[in-house]
């Protein structure tokens, strides 16, 4: 059962234990608080008492579990969990997101995992331009539709735009996608296309600056730090308005491989969280 919960909630065994503890403590806290309130109101036990008790438990539960989740380090999980319940009850529409990727898809997987229980965001489509890319396997595993695109279709994107419309896509996320986004697409999704770059823009951006080429240039220039830049996409490579940056040190023994690992850790930690802020703030 616990293994099934780990897979369903996409957490490790330690976080699962903390989540279950939060549920238990939160349930006890809201039950205790509801009883105390009814005692304060001096109501006798009866039908009205039990109806009020159940109503108070229902109202207090999200507050109690959220407060308890903070010291246990599970606030992010419970925020998404409660938002999901609320949006189901209220019928609120989710933002449908397409992830564009050209490679292994590690960032895509982190984003999918992060929004798996989300009540506000649905990862609805994977767009890939490279046959055999690892992200295609991720799309198949996650049962997310995968749209393969050719260069000529992308540069004359009317058919491609129609396909995005058919999937009812509201927001575009670039996660290791190596083609420049055409102007026609930017006009249709103004302020709704976000990219992550493996360096501290405006340094080491532009055509040809991706992957190991960025890390090699950073090390060759004896930079003391590197990092990630999350930004909106405009008509130029790596040029749109900056949203967020995170920094990591570059030491004297650094290699492109070790620096890439540091950058991946920053990407996986920050990109899903920042996307949530951007998408929900624009709703």
Q: What is the mean pLDDT of each run of 10 residues along the chain (283 residues)?
A: 76 90 94 92 87 93 93 88 78 90 95 89 96 96 94 84 94 94 92 96 92 95 97 92 97 95 96 93 65
Q: Is 197 a catalytic residue?
A: yes
pLDDT of residue 6: 78
> Going from the N-terminus, what domains does the chain have, and what CATH number goes with each?
2-89 (no CATH), 94-281 (3.40.50.170)
CB 201 within 8 A of CB 229: yes
> Among 167, 197, 212, 270, which one carries the catalytic annotation?
197
Interatomic CA distance for residues 240 and 194, integer angstroms: 9
Q: Put residue 176 in one of left, alpha, beta given phi > 0 → left and psi -120 to 50 → alpha.
A: left
Q: Which two tokens stand for residue 246?
A: 């995170």
Nearest to 283 by CA among 193, 173, 171, 187: 171
pLDDT of residue 281: 82
pLDDT of residue 118: 84
pLDDT of residue 282: 65
């Amino acid at each position: 059962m616990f293994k099934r919960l780990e897979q369903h909630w996409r957490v490790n065994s330690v976080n699962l234990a903390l989540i279950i503890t939060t549920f238990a403590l939160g349930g006890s806290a809201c039950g205790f608080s509801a009883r105390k309130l009814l005692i304060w109101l001096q109501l006798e036990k009866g039908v009205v008492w039990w109806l009020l008790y159940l109503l108070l438990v229902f109202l207090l539960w999200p507050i109690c579990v959220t407060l308890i989740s903070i010291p246990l380090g599970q606030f992010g999980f419970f925020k998404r969990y409660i938002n999901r319940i609320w949006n189901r009850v209220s019928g609120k529409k989710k933002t449908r997101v397409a992830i564009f990727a050209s490679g292994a898809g590690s960032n895509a997987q982190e984003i999918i995992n992060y929004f798996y229980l989300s009540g506000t965001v649905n990862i609805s489509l994977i767009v890939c331009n490279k046959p055999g890319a690892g992200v295609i396997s991720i799309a198949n595993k996650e049962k997310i539709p995968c749209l393969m695109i050719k260069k000529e279709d992308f540069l004359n994107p009317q058919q491609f735009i129609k396909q995005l419309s058919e999937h009812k896509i509201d927001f575009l996320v670039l996660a290791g996608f190596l083609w420049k986004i055409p102007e026609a697409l930017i006009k249709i999704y103004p302020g709704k296309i976000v990219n992550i770059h493996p360096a501290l823009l405006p340094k080491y951006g532009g055509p040809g600056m991706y992957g190991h080429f960025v890390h090699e240039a950073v090390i060759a220039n004896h930079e003391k730090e590197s990092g990630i830049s999350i930004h909106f996409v405009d008509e130029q490579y790596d040029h749109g308005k900056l949203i967020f940056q995170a920094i990591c040190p570059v030491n004297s023994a650094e290699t492109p491989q070790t620096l890439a690992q540091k950058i991946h850790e920053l990407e996986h930690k920050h990109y899903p969280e920042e996307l949530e802020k951007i998408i929900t703030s624009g709703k």
